Amino acid sequence: MKKIGFLSFGHWTPSSQSQTRSASDALLQSIDLAVAAEQLGADGAYFRVHHFARQLASPFPLLAAVGAKTSRIEIGTAVIDMRYENPLYMAEDAGAADIIAGGRLQLGISRGSPEQVIDGWRYFGYAPQEGQSDADMARHHAEVFLDTLRGEGFAQPNPRPMFPNPPGLLRLEPHSEGLRERIWWGAATNATSEWAAKLGMNLQSSTLKFDESGKPFHIQQAEQIRIYREAWKAAGHEREPRVSVSRSIFALVDDRDRAYFGRGNESRDQIGFIEENTRAIFGRSYAAEPDVLIAELAKDEAIAEADTLLLTVPNQLGVDYNAHVIEAILTHVAPALGWR
C-alpha cells in the first residue's frame, strides 16, 4: 500500500486558454480539488509555495480552508521556502491551521529553489549572517521552527500582564500536539537528506535533484532515500520516518488525455542547471495507456522506496480534469502495482 496525493503549483495566468485566470481562481480551485480528491479516495492534497509569482504563495490560509472543507485527507506543502519565513510567526500559523484541520497537516519545508527575483528573501527583511549563505539561513530558520513546535516555554512572562499567565516560561500559542513529527524536508542532495534525518524530519524528494552520480534520476533518488533511512536509524529516532516522491504521471484513458499528454515529449530524464554551477537532473514524466504505464512505473526504484507518491497536476486545466487525472491513477494503475 502507498499513500497517493496530488501536488499543485497553483499556476494562474489571465489567458483564455487557462481555466485558472486569477489568484482567486487558483485558491478556490485548490480547495475544490482537495475536496474532490478526498471524495475519490486520494490520501493527500499538497501545494507548492512560490513568491513574486502568479502561483500559490502564503500557504496557511489555504491549508486552513482545505482543512475546514475536508475531514480525512492529508493537507501539506511541498515546499515552503524557509529563506522567507519568520519561524516563530510560522509556528503560530501552522499550529492554528493544524488545529482547524484536526491534526492533518504535513508541512514540507526546504531551502527553496531559484526564485522570480534576485534574493527575494531580502525584501521580506531577511539576510544571511556574515560568512553564511542563504541556504544556511534557511536551515537555521528551519531549526528554530522545529524547536518552537516542541511546545516548550521560552519567553519570560511580564510580571504585570494584561491577562493571567500560566506558571513558568511562555510558549507560542496555539500549540498543536504532534505537528513536530509531521514536518518534512525537501532535499535536493544526499547531504541535506542526511541532515534532515538527524533532525527527525520526514523526507520529500521531488522531480528534481542535484546530479551527484550521472545515474538515471530514479536510481539517484532511490539511493538518496536509502542514505536518508540509514542516517535516520543512526540518529536513534523511535518512530518510522515517512518518505515522499513526486512524479508527473498521466494514464491515457480518453481522448482528452491523448490530446494533452499523448505525444511522449518528456519520457526521458533531462539535465540542466538550476544555478550557475549546479548541475541538476529532472525526472521524466510518465504518460501512456494504463498497461504500459504499470510496466514502466514498476521499474521506478524511487517510487518503490517511498511510502507516499505525490502526483503533480496541471492545475490550469481545471478542477474536473485534474480530478479525472487523479481518479485514473487510483482506478487503472494503483491496484495493479499494489499501491491500493
Residue 184 has pLDDT above 70, yes or no: yes
* Stretch 283-306: mean pLDDT: 97
Angle made by CA atoms 267, 261, 4, in degrees to the nearest 5: 80
SS3 content of the chain, % helix, strand, coil (to 5): 40, 20, 40
Q: pLDDT for 257-290, tens place per residue? A: 999 999 866 679 888 887 777 899 899 999 999 9
> Which of 247, 211, 268, 267 shows the shortest CA–CA distance to 325?
247
Contact 272, 187 (CB under 8 A): no
Q: Label residue 43 by pLDDT band (50, 70, 90).
A: very high
* Stretch 109-132: mean pLDDT: 94
Instruction: Give me the residue label for grid cell 516522491.
Output: 245
Does residue 95 sit in helix, strand or coil?
A: helix
Contact 218, 283 (CB under 8 A): yes
- In which element (H, E) is residue 287 found? strand 286-288
What cell numbers appear for 173 in the block? 500559542
Residues 249 and 308: their CA atoms lie apart, in Å, by 14
Residues 299 and 288: their CA atoms lie apart, in Å, by 15
Going by C-beta distance under 8 Å and a sequence separation of 6 or more, which residues neighbour residue 117?
A: 51, 52, 123
- What are the two backbone dihedrals, phi and then psi, of residue 291, each rounded to the nearest 5 degrees? -65, -40
Residues 237 and 222: their CA atoms lie apart, in Å, by 21
- In which element (H, E) is residue 5 found? strand 3-8
Alpha carbon 24 to chain centroid, angstroms = 21
Residue 12 has pLDDT above 90, yes or no: yes
Q: What burial class does residue 69 get, using C-beta atoms within 10 Å of its C-beta: 0-12 exposed, 13-18 middle, 19+ buried? A: middle
Instruction: Give me the residue label for grid cell 524530519.
Output: 201
Mean pLDDT of the chain: 96
What cell numbers appear for 311 in the block? 502526483
Does residue 91 sit in helix, strand or coil?
A: helix
Q: pLDDT for 54-77, tens place per residue? A: 999 999 999 999 999 999 999 999
Q: pLDDT for 122-133, tens place per residue? A: 999 999 999 999
* Stretch 308-321: mean pLDDT: 98
Peptide bond into 14 cis (omega under 30): no
